Structure 1
Amino acid sequence: MTGTARHRASGPLFSRIAAAAVPGRPAVLGPDGALTHAEVLERARRLASRLAARRSPVLVYGQKQPAVLLGFLAALRLGRPYVPVDSSLPPGRVARMLAAVGAEDAVLAEDPPPPLARELAARGIATIRLDPLGAGLERLPETIGGVDPPPPDPEAAAYILFTSGSTGVPKGVAVSHAALAHFTSWLLASHAFVPGGETFLNQAPFSFDLSVMDVYGALLTGGTLFALTREEIADPRRLFRRLDGAPLTTWVSTPSFARFCLAEARFARPMLPALRRFLFCGEALSPGLARALLARFPGVEVWNMYGPTETTVAVTAVRIGAALAAAEGPLPVGHAAPGIEIWIADPDARSRRAPDGARGEIVIAGPQVAGGYLNDAASDPPDGPFFTLPDGRRAYRTGDLGWIDPRDGALFCAGRLDHQIKLRGYRIEIEEIETHLRAVPGVADAAVVPIERDGQPDHLVALVVVTPTLSSAGRALTNHVRAALAESLPEYAVPRLVRATPALPLTARGKLDRRAVREIAG
């Protein structure tokens, strides 16, 4: 399956954003206030002048403050990759990310906790502390002038995001300017966005690649980014107070978030009268959820999209209408974007392509595939995830199980081939959590099980073998282990429950019997 009608971006991304800007229109709306397109561009240019002395990656730390976007754009203008770091991440995890990227500058939209502040200082990283709106930047001199610097090398990194790693160390994915330009050009060409008339929902953290869709969708259409904070998302009353009557035209989120919103009876067309489309990515969209949205929001389009972080947000898309939503089986994730080739690898021989209709591993090739993992000299082993085709194109073995419908060429994704899962849109490596569990004092061995609800992972349960030094009492054990894991893992990767077991079940080959573990966990 190969996408056709290739779309090309014209010019560097910062220049495209500046050309699309509607000066007096809000570029970003959040609880901290709003900034117009003119203010965003002016403050980003001034911030770029403060960052112009070096070429290394720029750490951008915060949550959903408009100042975080200023850090992204300032780095883009200079051709320096930006590294989004959500302030909810444990300082220890951020320290490992810092070691991987070699950042020399950090833009802070809020104060980091003392351990992270000490880490920044110890590494000699120069920090620029901004208020949530970047107030005061407009008074700084623009030492590099009003003309944008030379365009960056298309193959150079535009941003670096971190995904889960089985060794316990997060893996950095460097996405190139060319890959980002290809994705955004396809996104804009695929939908009837109204220049200067779009408002995109931002649900995902800026450190999660789904946010790339709404951030640049808004900025490249002269539209508005409507950012939700994690506090609003966690409090239904605050969330629906904010959403009620909001001028959203494009909803970008994981399906899980929409499912959560549907629990509120008022979440329907009258609440969001301007809404035109739902764009879903990050996890499977179920037919039941699609049907519920089509019923609650008549006339609003529902789109299902697919793509790992390593292939720049999304590489397939399909509009889910009433006929597709009526299906009992899984929904298709669509056809390949222009210039993208997708095939199914034979599960018994990864180098061999499976015939259409056969199940196997989804493989993606083309201009949106990352070069490899950051600082990983072994990114291209013979059986590794990244490889280069004879014609020079990069390809990525996703680890996702899928098949291509021989009737119309649509791609279907049926989950993970390995022990990696998607939980509320976040990709989680089960083995990474187990690695950290075994490092908790008093834990001799551990296994983690995703517990499903409505056919989707809902939460995690950990089974642990404890030493005599650690209490095996339920609540005390859970509290102790969760507190320890919170030092090194993001909140979504910390198991909700922890249960003690005398021993973990093994297969005849001496490997962990995950099926038996699941039965024990319930």
Structure 2
Amino acid sequence: MLDLSRLLVAPPVSDRPVAESGGRLIGMGQFAADVATNAERIRVAGCRRGLLVTQDAYWGAVGLFALLHAGAEAVLPQNGQPGTLAALADVRDRVIGDAALDGTGDALRLEPGVARTAPALALLDPEAPLCFFTSGSTGRPKPVRKTLALLQREAEAIEALLGSVVPADAWVHATVPHQHVYGMAFRLCWPLATGRPFSGTAHALWESALAALDGGSVLVTSPAHLARLEGIAPLPPGRRPSLVLSAGAPLSDEAADAAARVLGTVPTEIFGSSETGAVAHRARRLPDPAWRPLPGVTVGRTEDGRLRVRSPAVPGDGVHVGGDLVDLDGEGGFRLLGRADRIVKIEGKRVSLPEIEEHLRRQPWVADAAALPVGDMAPRLAAVVVPSAEGRALLSEIGPFRFGRLLRRELGATQEPAGLPRHWRFVDALPQGVLGKRVPGDLLRLFKGDGAMMAETTDAQTSVAEARPQRPTEPEIRAVRSGGEGVELDLYLPGDLAQIDGHFPGLPIVPGVALIDWAVTLGARHGIPVAVARDFQVKFRRVTVPDSAVTLSLRHLAARRRLAFEYRAGDETLTSGTIALEDPPKDGGDQA
């Protein structure tokens, strides 16, 4: 194992490959030059706390070590969204990145160095500080402080667990970002500490990810990506990875089976948190196996059933008690039972959201469900439901209002009135973040009038006319993925869209005005600051038809004050363009 604090101190004995970035193979000598050059620039700029935001993992490594060698604290946000960067303005001196960042006037862009002129680098203090920000249970950025020594210890535990199954020169590829703790540990620190080269690219599409893999390589991925392997041909034996890692959320049996079939390797799941780093692992050869701690990690259970972790990678005394409820298996492992902090008060009663979800999933009409409180002053219980095949048929027959009433009646067998959802949304898939985790904000947005089928159920009498679903005016949102400068939405365009009427008689085509309107509306609904949308530039490449699935990509180009959008069907672009954004008109001035 290499010591990360000494990684760049002495000139490299050999110019072994460190990474691939932008189609270029980068050796250890160039890596040291890039770090030294940018460390000097950061030092001259007087930066003591740098907010590190990079698209490419190689430049993420350069920025991380440049900040530490400059004596500055490396601060890593949970994403690079403009709103996130603005919220963290008081914890940074400069933004350090590998590209121009919209809306940040204090950005320092990382630049390549020249090996023969780059200054020498000194030994790093193992206690050099880093700070990761997570969304936290409240939705506000939450700091998690670590040190370089903690990252070193986590890398050593990972190598003790996985080193024997991964070739020493294996390339590490990924579909996940490196900004969070999982990506930082498995995409950057572990490869750097073991001398394995890594790819700077986080592959968004399986086509490019599979093309990059070769025999014995490592793939760092997530349930959100592994769930999309259906229909992809298996890799030939000579190109199968030695290791497939998944973290961020539990991996479904279907996704685990698909990964083993397509990739030729049984996935290894990693369990952990921002506070603890990697804690446990399990190979998905059987449904729901127990989690086993990493080398050097021990687990226990508190009196109230929560997971207690003792790990050399945990700050302070090495002990962390989180919000995960567990059942110990008597052999040092554990199984997850849900979250202890998902208890809410509805009408003065304590309601367990995991319990509501579990009872809903037991119904033959429900494939998956998420429960949540909505409303601030007097919260009421709500549920987002993915109907099963049987449930979809029944929903189509009786409508969303009566379907919601049916589920309430079934829940009434085990729940008090406070535990019966009053608000329902019926969707094809629960919204997921980049790693497959549920994002509370995305669930809440479903209750702000998007295209999902909805029903409000109360104890008052409701007429059949009030309950009858109206023709949709927006697409159904099947998945939400946030990242970079915007958001990507998987949409289903219903065949009975109201916008089709009056356009292209006899031809089922979605009009361009609807596509532009949805881009603005959904952009505003998913965090892009759209006040007033004026002129637009648009290119219609292919017609968009109803009763089809499309992907809508939205990017906020803050510096240009424009919203860029693109509708795709698979890899084919249907419609793309930009929309000018303006501030809302201000009151004032002379009035007649």
* TM-score, L = length of structure 2: 0.57
2:193 to 220, 241, 245: 220
1:15 CA displacement:
1.3
Alignment of 1:268-347 (within 5 A): 268-270=235-237, 272-273=239-240, 275-298=241-264, 300=265, 302-312=267-277, 314-320=278-284, 325-327=285-287, 330-338=288-296, 340-347=297-304
Name the aligned partner's letter for residue 180 of structure 2.
F
For residues 481 and 334 of structure 1, what CA distance do their matches in structure 2 show?
Answer: 42
Partner of 1:400: 324
1:111 to 95, 100, 119: 100
Seen in structure 2, the aligned counterparts of structure 1 residues 215 and 56 have a Cα distance that, compared at 3 Å, is same
State the SS of the aligned residue for 2:275.
helix
The answer as to whether partners of 1:203 and 1:227 remain within 8 angstroms in 2 is no
Seen in structure 2, the aligned counterparts of structure 1 residues 434 and 200 have a Cα distance that, compared at 3 Å, is farther
Seen in structure 2, the aligned counterparts of structure 1 residues 28 and 200 have a Cα distance that, compared at 3 Å, is same
1:92 CA displacement:
2.2
State the SS of the aligned residue for 2:43.
coil
For residues 404 and 80 of structure 1, what CA distance do their matches in structure 2 show?
Answer: 42
Deviations 1:234-256 (A, max 9, x none): x454454x43x546611212133
Larger RCO (CA within 8 A; separation ≥ 6): 1
For residues 94 and 18 of structure 2, what CA distance do their matches in structure 1 show?
Answer: 25
Partner of 2:178: 206
Partner of 1:500: none
Seen in structure 2, the aligned counterparts of structure 1 residues 107 and 137 have a Cα distance that, compared at 3 Å, is farther
1:78 CA displacement:
4.2
Partner of 2:535: none
1:109 CA displacement:
0.7
1:368 to 308, 313, 322: 313
Seen in structure 2, the aligned counterparts of structure 1 residues 326 and 311 have a Cα distance that, compared at 3 Å, is closer
Partner of 1:509: none
For residues 244 and 271 of structure 2, what CA distance do their matches in structure 1 show?
Answer: 14
1:95 CA displacement:
1.6
For residues 380 and 200 of structure 2, what CA distance do their matches in structure 1 show?
Answer: 38
Partner of 1:6: none
The answer as to whether partners of 1:315 and 1:337 remain within 8 angstroms in 2 is no
1:46 CA displacement:
2.2
Deviations 1:331-386 (A, max 9, x none): 22212430x33212233xxxxxxxxxxxx321223332245xxxxxxxxxxxxxxx
1:291 CA displacement:
3.8
The answer as to whether partners of 1:202 and 1:253 remain within 8 angstroms in 2 is yes
For residues 177 and 214 of structure 1, what CA distance do their matches in structure 2 show?
Answer: 15
- 1:41 aligned to 2:32? yes
2:89 to 79, 98, 102: 98
1:257 CA displacement:
1.6
State the SS of the aligned residue for 1:397.
strand
Alignment of 1:231-250 (within 5 A): 232-233=203-204, 235-240=205-210, 242-243=211-212, 246=214, 249-250=217-218
For residues 447 and 479 of structure 1, what CA distance do their matches in structure 2 show?
Answer: 30
Deviations 1:292-344 (A, max 9, x none): 4344455x4542221111112x1112444xxxx234xx222212430x33212
1:107 CA displacement:
2.3
1:135 to 88, 112, 119: 112
1:70 CA displacement:
1.0
1:58 CA displacement:
1.8
Percent identical: 18
State the SS of the aligned residue for 1:51.
helix
**Superposed CA RMSD:** 4.1
Question: How many residue pairs are counted as aligned between the two chains?
Answer: 392
Partner of 1:379: none
The answer as to whether partners of 2:280 and 2:291 remain within 8 angstroms in 1 is yes
For residues 20 and 269 of structure 1, what CA distance do their matches in structure 2 show?
Answer: 40
For residues 276 and 225 of structure 1, what CA distance do their matches in structure 2 show?
Answer: 15
State the SS of the aligned residue for 2:69.
helix
The answer as to whether partners of 1:344 and 1:402 remain within 8 angstroms in 2 is yes
Name the aligned partner's letter for residue 272 of structure 1.
R
- 1:148 aligned to 2:122? yes
1:227 CA displacement:
3.5
Alignment of 1:79-98 (within 5 A): 79-85=71-77, 89-98=80-89
For residues 178 and 27 of structure 2, what CA distance do their matches in structure 1 show?
Answer: 19
Name the aligned partner's letter for residue 322 of structure 2.
T
1:72 CA displacement:
1.2
For residues 58 and 93 of structure 1, what CA distance do their matches in structure 2 show?
Answer: 15
For residues 282 and 215 of structure 1, what CA distance do their matches in structure 2 show?
Answer: 17
Q: Highest CA radius of gyration, 1 or 2?
A: 2
For residues 366 and 265 of structure 1, what CA distance do their matches in structure 2 show?
Answer: 39
1:217 CA displacement:
2.0
For residues 297 and 168 of structure 1, what CA distance do their matches in structure 2 show?
Answer: 35
Q: Mind listing any 5+ residue stretches in structure 2 that lack a counterpart?
A: 344-352, 355-369, 389-427, 433-441, 450-470, 475-516, 530-552, 555-592
* TM-score, L = length of structure 1: 0.64
The answer as to whether partners of 2:144 and 2:275 remain within 8 angstroms in 1 is yes
Alignment of 1:465-504 (within 5 A): 475=474, 480=521, 482-487=523-528
Deviations 1:374-429 (A, max 9, x none): xxxxxxxxxxxxxxxxxxx24322211221112x221222343334999xxxxxx9
For residues 337 and 195 of structure 1, what CA distance do their matches in structure 2 show?
Answer: 19
State the SS of the aligned residue for 1:228.
strand
The answer as to whether partners of 1:452 and 1:458 remain within 8 angstroms in 2 is no
Deviations 1:65-94 (A, max 9, x none): 6333211121233453322357x6332221
The answer as to whether partners of 1:332 and 1:412 remain within 8 angstroms in 2 is yes
The answer as to whether partners of 1:286 and 1:331 remain within 8 angstroms in 2 is no
For residues 247 and 11 of structure 2, what CA distance do their matches in structure 1 show?
Answer: 25
For residues 286 and 136 of structure 2, what CA distance do their matches in structure 1 show?
Answer: 37
1:166 CA displacement:
4.0
Partner of 2:504: none
Seen in structure 2, the aligned counterparts of structure 1 residues 77 and 255 have a Cα distance that, compared at 3 Å, is same
Partner of 2:414: none
Name the aligned partner's letter for residue 104 of structure 2.
L
Partner of 2:132: 161
1:267 CA displacement:
4.0
Deviations 1:43-63 (A, max 9, x none): 112222223365722222221
Seen in structure 2, the aligned counterparts of structure 1 residues 464 and 252 have a Cα distance that, compared at 3 Å, is closer
Alignment of 1:502-517 (within 5 A): none
For residues 231 and 260 of structure 2, what CA distance do their matches in structure 1 show?
Answer: 16
State the SS of the aligned residue for 2:51.
strand
Name the aligned partner's letter for residue 341 of structure 2.
D
2:18 to 24, 27, 32: 27
Q: Mind listing any 5+ residue stretches in structure 1 that lack a counterpart?
A: 1-8, 121-126, 348-359, 372-392, 423-428, 467-471, 493-522
The answer as to whether partners of 2:301 and 2:308 remain within 8 angstroms in 1 is yes
Name the aligned partner's letter for residue 232 of structure 2.
A
1:168 CA displacement:
3.9
Alignment of 1:51-62 (within 5 A): 51-52=42-43, 56-62=48-54
